[in-house]
Amino acid sequence: MRLDEAGMLPGAEHIPSPNCDERPEGVEISLIVIHNISLPPGEFGGSGVAELFTNTLDANLHPFYASIADLKVSSHFYIDRTGRIFQFVPTVMRAWHAGLSRWQGREKCNDFSIGIELEGTDHVPFTDEQYDSLKSLSLAILEKHPSCGLAGHSDIAPGRKTDPGPFFDWNRYRFSIGKLSS
């Protein structure tokens, strides 16, 4: 698995999101941010995440959707419970996944990070298939951007975000990609 020059992952299911823009000139990618998401909350297997990231979420389909249907958000990648990888934004572009954020003294993490959403919640473990896909995807990113640090959404937006949550096994993830520190 390897990212191409356009920042696309061959083999991923590509679903273009309009919620992205150019990265600031001269900014190097230096961070991978891990998130969790499920739509509706706590339910797996639906199309809600893709619809949210493509601005096609129907606010009438679920009571929670009314509160988020107008958001303009995205992520570079999304890994469902079966390990299938979806790509919404090329890595050379800025996805809108981090929001108000700070990492090691730098603000606006969207500028220099790649966002990976895992289908899940703060309340259930992630699947082996997700960890396998996350490993392969992360190694592809690190091949192109070897100095990337690793953080959870909760690390870059403490007090505002809790994901990827207490069930994300950071030791397993770091060990699998040979990066034992963030």
Calculate the alpha carbon distances from 177 to 63, 149, 161, 174 in Å.
Answer: 39, 12, 25, 5
Catalytically annotated residue among 13, 51, 117, 119 = 117
Calculate the alpha carbon distances from 69 to 12, 53, 72, 83, 181 in Å.
Answer: 25, 10, 8, 26, 37
Report the run of H or E that residue 107 belongs to, with start and end: strand 106-107
Residue 33 β-bridge partners = 115, 151
Whether 64 and 87 have beta carbons less than 8 Å apart is answered as no
117: annotated active-site residue: yes
Residues with catalytic annotation? 117
